[in-house]
Amino acid sequence: MQPPILLPNRALLHLFSPGGSRNRLSILIYHRVLPRRDPLFPEEGDAEDFDRQIEQLAGCFRIIPLLDAIQGLRHGKLPPRAACITFDDGYADNAEVALPILKKHGISATFFVAANFIDGGRMWNDTVIELIRHATAGIIDLGSLGLGQFEIETIPQRRQAIEYLLGKLKYLPPDIRQSKVEAMSSLIPVAPGSSGNLMMTSDQVRVLHEAGMEIGGHTASHPILAKMENGAASADIAHGKEILEGIIRAPVRLFAYPNGKPGQDYLPDHVRMVRRLGFDAAVSTAHGAARMDSDLYQLPRFTPWGRGPVRLTLRMVQNMLRTVETV
């Protein structure tokens, strides 16, 4: 039996997502589901939060596989209150923590995996985060790299340093960014025993696929496509697809643009590449909900973390009313 509070929430959502040709498709985006709360980023969701939120979402929405939703969008046959769950990047906790929760609730999701980081790789931003997380307390001097000095005696100071460094490094050319991150690794003393794999193994990707989850492309190296030459960008997208298809022995039909902001992280040329490379659809990180006339290669997504079913429902309704940005 559904909790009573979900009934008015579901009725409100039905007004804005009634099904058929007038429906709106809410695609939710997650990255990690940690086994327990992270003291460095306490607002990020953990397993308990995710379990509770999936239960709330399942009580208010019809959560369906993304490929099914795309067919419904094409033909104007989405069910009322349609929603999809997606994950980006390919973190190991997706298989270790999120998958059992999804199976518990009978929910399917799509996992967009950056293929080069499978089996022991790590994305540059996670290297920065883990360096600062485990750095010996005191002052970090990165002046030789043009990145300044940071006092990291407290958790707020560590977080401030992380946010600054990620912002400074994010849009640098990949080779320059990588060289700076490698230099940081040699300049920052860290506590013993602070290494560890964050990303999935090939076996974990297969476990997701065999559990009925969709595996989607997310490039090989997770670059900012808008900062690359077209030939290199197309090759990176295609290589990621090829690696994943070799792992799951099945077509990879869906794609997520890395970072995903239209006009900033990807451009019209990249939309054409994704179509030409044989994907059925692609998702961005522009907020909003998809409609029947939406570009299937620029479907919007929304990050849904929020406490309590009422607040979550209001945030979802607000998202449905947004104007979707595309290129």
Amino acid 21: pLDDT: 63
Parent domain of 105: 6-119+199-320
Closest to 313 in 3D by CA, of 83, 105, 107, 98: 83
Residues 226 and 307 in one domain: yes
Euclidean distance between the first and final Cα of the chain, in Å?
A: 44
- Judged by DSSP in three states, 257 sits in coil
Residues 230 and 108 in one domain: yes
User: Which run of H or of E encompasses 202?
Assistant: helix 202-210
Q: Centre a 10 Å sphere on the Cβ of residue 1 and count the other Cβ atoms it contains.
A: 3
Domain contains 84: yes
Q: Domain boundary at 166, 187, 208, which?
A: 187
Residues 108 and 214 in one domain: yes
Considering the domain architecture, whether residues 297 and 226 belong to the same structural domain is answered as yes
Tell me, yes or no, whether 47 and 81 share the same domain.
yes
End-of-domain residue from the set 147, 165, 187: 187
Q: In this structure, are 222 and 246 located in the same domain?
A: yes
Residue type, 139: I
- Sequential pLDDT tens for the chain (327 residues): 455 445 456 667 766 677 666 788 999 999 999 999 999 998 888 999 999 999 989 988 999 999 999 999 988 889 999 999 999 999 999 999 999 999 999 999 999 999 999 999 999 999 999 999 999 999 999 999 999 999 999 999 999 999 999 999 999 988 999 999 999 999 998 876 555 689 999 999 999 999 999 999 999 999 999 999 999 999 999 999 999 999 999 999 999 999 999 999 999 999 999 999 999 999 999 999 999 999 999 999 998 765 667 778 788 888 888 889 999
Closest residue by Cα to residue 257 from 265, 245, 268: 265
Is 187:136 a contact under the CB 8 Å cutoff? no
- Indicate if 57 and 73 belong to the same structural domain: yes
How many structural domains does the chain have?
Answer: 2
CATH code assigned at 233: 3.20.20.370
The predicted-structure confidence for 227-255, as pLDDT tens digits, reads as follows 999 999 999 999 999 999 999 999 999 99
Q: Is 3 helix (H, G, I), strand (E, B) or coil?
A: coil
User: Does the model's pTM come out above 0.85?
Assistant: yes
| Residue 236 located in a structural domain | yes
Q: For residues 169 and 306, state if they share a domain.
A: no
- Helices 155-169 and 124-134, interaxial angle, to 10°? 160
For residues 252 and 245, give the distance between their C-alpha atoms in angstroms, rounded to a whole number.
6
Question: Are the C-beta atoms of residues 102 and 109 closer than 8 Å to each other?
Answer: yes
Amino acid at the residue 268: P
Looking at residue 123, what DSSP letter applies?
Answer: -
**Final residue in a domain of this structure, among 187, 220, 241:** 187
Model pLDDT, residue 305: 66
Q: Is residue 286 part of a domain?
A: yes
